[in-house]
Structure 1
Amino acid sequence: MREEVIPVLRVEDASAAVAWYERLGFVKQWEHRFEPGFPAFVEVARHGVRLFLSEHEGDARPDTLVYLRARDVDAIAAEFGVRVEDAPWAREVELRDPDGNRLRVGTPRE
């Protein structure tokens, strides 16, 4: 087993959150509900990076910041209509998902 960290982000509407994360290149892997109508817990993945999106109260706090290293920050910036910022360590954009969680996406400098 490969050890890893998987951030959990609080979302109000998992379906809307999945649609937003798909714009970032994530793909829904699975969804769990204890019973129909109960809150959803969803995994999305992109090139080996995984996130859990949870409708469960108390699983995570709004306004969380996740840093994603990506090869294609320019394509992501174009998709979301934002400008890439140049930092000494990477070219970056900062995005907010529909629930206010922050994602800083950067392509490292070579």
Structure 2
Amino acid sequence: MTPSIDFAAPIAVLRIFDVTKAYEFYCDYLGFTVDWEHRFEPDLPLYAQLSRSGALIHLSEHHGDGTPGTVLWTTVDDIHTWHAELAAKNYGYARPGPPQPGPGGPGFAVTDPFGNTLRFAQR
């Protein structure tokens, strides 16, 4: 008999190249909160966890962590309210179009400053 093992949801690690731009996008624009930051020494690359509601992501400046151009697919309970929240913000680098039908339900995508695409769809 195989023992029961409880798995947590995976956490995406997204590669970043500029902490200020990353926090402007993920915190100011998308509304995530920085839970914690780690650096092995003050001048070494950042590794951080951000969260919003039940979503967790890790951002990393470390070479080899994540790949620029990654796609992260996330479900939300109200895609139209989420779209309206982002559309109301004056962020000059991302203006998502209205939600469109898709394989996971209606959704839209935004691209971060490092080429990673975040796709949001309603459950």
Give the alignment's TM-score, normalised by structure 1. 0.86
Paired residue for 1:67? 73
Pick the structure with greater CA Rg.
2
Spell out the pairing of 1:26-41 with structure 2 (5 A cutoff).
26-41=32-47
Spell out the pairing of 1:11-90 with structure 2 (5 A cutoff).
11-22=16-27, 23-78=29-84, 79-80=86-87, 81-82=95-96, 83-87=98-102, 89-90=104-105
Measured after TM superposition, the shift of residue 90 of structure 1 is 1.1
**Matched pairs, number:** 108
Q: Distance in 2 between matches of 1:58 and 1:19?
A: 23
Say which structure is richer in strand. Answer: 1
- 1:10 is aligned to 2:15: yes
- 1:104 is aligned to 2:119: yes
Structure 2, unaligned runs of 5 or more: 1-5, 88-94
- Go from structure 1 to structure 2 and tell me whether the alpha carbon gap of 1:93 and 1:5 turns closer, same or farther (over 3 Å shift): same
Q: Aligned residues: percent identity?
A: 34
SS in 2 for 1:103: strand
Q: Distance in 1 between matches of 2:74 and 2:31?
A: 12
Per-residue displacement from partner, 1:11-67 (whole Å, max 9, x unpaired)?
Answer: 001232122112223111011111111110010011121100000011111100110
**TM-align CA RMSD:** 1.8
Q: Which amino acid aligns with 2:30?
A: L
Q: Which amino acid aligns with 1:37?
A: D
